[in-house]
Chains A and B, each alone.
Chain A
């Protein structure tokens, strides 16, 4: 076996030229770097260190390289997926590193790495089986290679921590010694997997593999890329969605420092390309642009709210979940309760704004970008460049936040390719300003919900009608997936019993339907997606019903959950840990809720107080999660804590409003998010019941708001039905 790492890195440097050029030029700093984009896979393509299979490369020095197709954006999937492969590989965890194969390589190899999409909390839950099989198959091949060398049956050999032993003869070989031979062995067809109860690497609270360089400034994000000869681009898209550029006066800024090009980007945007990004942005801000704002320039949050309100009682709606006769139940109820809720647009507001670097020639189009879906980035590059996919490549970079913004839609990739195509042979890096990022999000969908509950004379829930009115993400992004007017994602957490996003209650007469109303503001999959507002609607209303029935909110729920044991178990776990029903300090009140989505069951109890002048303090959160199998409990706890930050940011402050057809909020001064000062103590209760694989990056977000909203009601008697909470007056009446 020969290691070609030196040769391959030289090749990759000359081809992609990723050097810290200006740092070297400054003379004071000399931290050259290369970007680890598929360098192993590239070496493999050149026949250097042979891979055992698509998932595993082992170097002569025993270094284990595990290939990860999903994207790391902070959620820890890199570590979790590597744990699953390493578990089956029986390798030495301390020797493990990871790398991304490129989507172009995957396409060329019949998508050997499967789906690259990293959203919907599916990184682990949808690839655990094939990545574990990759690790197990590699282990079997390594053992077989050693057995061949020793001329003994493989069944007499065992592997542990990257060492294969033949007990009978006392011989041993390291993985690195047999890797080359193992690579030539035919892959086994029958690849049994370990029982999770036997796991020693997976299932353990291991530290992340990717922490150190996030603490010393050496980690390179997309925004940090440098290439020799690279120019920098800033962009402005028409602030009214659907509008166009009428004209711009390039001559007015051509002489400004560093400016190289002033170019149209499609029919709705203008870019300035300059030596540095700051020069590009400064010149762009000075560029006179006349917009044709188009037909949506009169739309406002108020006009949208009125339109959605009409949908709450509209005769036409698509049914998502139905049993019994809800009309009759409501007509015959001893008491009916009715409430209308609303949830605003929200921006993902990733800390790293959208960015990508592209190099276009008529023969090849390459893009470097932080993306949740490398294949979608590649497809966007191909489409925008007009080149076939085989002549394009996308190199993934770890994301400075994703949250769904960098997954389904790659608008910024299309833009950078359109720019690069106008300056062929010159690498160009496009960075969105925070303002551009705020104005041109793919926003959390706008919805309202009217709920009508029927109670019998004993306060039992006999009927529930839940009418959702508003935006469909799927209609906005994948319209081809709308069948008979139905967007299935709209009903997240409200579906009939089943393994995904099912409602946790049995109501004798139930109707959940959706009147689709799609504003011109483009929607996106936003961490937690529709589970977020659906849980607010249903779980707040359950609280309303419980209070109306004069029952304890936990007991009221339990009575409806007998046929939903997993939902119930996780609700009970949260309630027990929070000591539901036991006295709290004076002025502190509890709220409880539960939901199910992204394959996992979650519940939360919030403890809050509200001062006389209306100031809310969230003291403590207890959050229970049943994700089936728990691959890394330490990282799950971090995801749960982070989910509360994201979910509480949304419920406390998150609101994008529309005026004159455009977004009003342009930065964090007007689009507030939660900071450390507001962070409550979060206690994670992990109750993995086994037998299924649920996600952990998103489901908990959905229980953050309703737990707090219900606790606010307990504290103040005020029911907040219009989010965010900042708009509500919590002062004691």
Chain B
């Protein structure tokens, strides 16, 4: 039995300690917005926040996460789906198939929280998630729109 703080709630989970956090989130906790894409931290579809840092949950064993660490998944990013990044995604009609977009949004939200004035170069360096539909141009536009809006950042 392990304790996890997920989206502001303390949960008891039953899984082997070497189970990747991704599969604990998907199969034990039942939150499926976080996706499996590669299992080797290449594609970023599994990105969640751990204490605000974008983390590829497919390659992080349950053992390595403590009850004190705050895990946020796409479902917990905002109470109403209206986080500035989510709103920008809707405004710019970013997703195509949508499968990678949870990870894309979580990576972006963490980037802009840490670096609210992210430049194109910052975005290119930090947003390394794979999207096979090819939404990159719209992802970039949406991120720059959030930056221009100035709604994110550590006060």
Contacts and interface: CB of A to CB of B under 8 A. Distances in A.
B74 interface: yes
Given A22-B27, A23-B31, A214-B101, 18 more contacts: A22-B29, A28-B11, A74-B95, A214-B89, A215-B81, A217-B32, A219-B33, A351-B43, A351-B130, A352-B99, A401-B132, A434-B40, A641-B135, A641-B137, A641-B138, A643-B134, A669-B42, A676-B128
Interface in A640-658: 641-646, 649
5 contacts: A23-B31, A26-B29, A74-B98, A217-B31, A400-B97
Interface residues of B, number: 64
Contact of B131 (A73, A210, A351, A644): A351
Interface stretch (A56-64, A221-229, A592-600, A715-723): A221-229
A673 B27 contact: no
Interface of B: 6-7, 9, 11, 15-16, 19-20, 23, 26-40, 42-43, 45, 73-75, 77-78, 81, 86, 89-90, 93-102, 105, 123-125, 127-140
B132 A641 contact: no
Sorted nearest first, the 5 A-B pairs with minimum C-beta distance are A217-B33, A645-B134, A23-B30, A74-B97, A214-B98
Interface of A: 20-26, 28-29, 31, 73-76, 207-208, 210-212, 214-221, 223-224, 226, 232, 257, 276-278, 282, 349-353, 398-403, 431, 433-434, 634, 638, 641-646, 649, 667-669, 673-677, 679, 681-682
Contacts of B125: 677
A642 B96 contact: yes
Contacts of A219: 33, 98
A351 B100 contact: yes
| B93, B97, B135: most-surrounded residue (chain A CB, <10 A) | B97
A24 B40 CA distance: 29
Q: Say what secondary structure dominates the interface of chain B.
A: loop
Contacts, number: 202
Contact of A400 (B28, B40, B98): B98
Contact of B97 (A212, A353, A398): A398
Contact of B93 (A25, A28, A29, A211): A211
Contacts of A634: 93
Contacts of A74: 95-98, 133
Contacts of B96: 74-76, 638, 642
B39 A667 contact: yes
Given A211-B93, A351-B37, A645 B131 contact: yes
A429 to B, nearest CB: 11
Nearest to B9: A28
Contacts of A644: 134
B38 A676 contact: no
A216 B81 contact: yes
A216 B86 contact: yes
| B15, B73, B133: most-surrounded residue (chain A CB, <10 A) | B133
| A217, A220, A434, A682: most-surrounded residue (chain B CB, <10 A) | A217
Given A215-B105, A217-B31, A352-B35, A646 B40 contact: no
Contacts of A681: 137
B30 A22 contact: yes
A223 B35 CA distance: 9
Contacts of B127: 676
Contacts of B29: 22-23, 26, 28-29
Contacts of B128: 675-677
Contact of A669 (B16, B40, B90, B133): B40
A668 B134 contact: no
Contacts of B137: 641, 679, 681-682
A582 to B, nearest CB: 24
A215 B124 contact: no
A649 to B, nearest CB: 8
A668 B135 CA distance: 18
A278 B81 contact: no
Contact of A667 (B42, B78, B95, B129): B42
A345 B43 CA distance: 21
A669 B40 CA distance: 8
B155 to A, nearest CB: 25
A95 B30 CA distance: 32
Nearest to B143: A676
Contacts of A211: 89-90, 93-95, 98
Given A26-B30, A74-B96, A676-B140, A351 B35 contact: yes
| A24, A74, A212, A257: most-surrounded residue (chain B CB, <10 A) | A74
A403 B133 CA distance: 9
Nearest to A643: B134
Contact of A401 (B34, B99, B105): B99
Nearest to B13: A26
Contacts of B7: 29
A406 B152 CA distance: 39
A638 B97 CA distance: 12
A207 B91 CA distance: 9
Contacts of B133: 74, 351, 401, 642, 645-646
Contacts of A22: 27-30
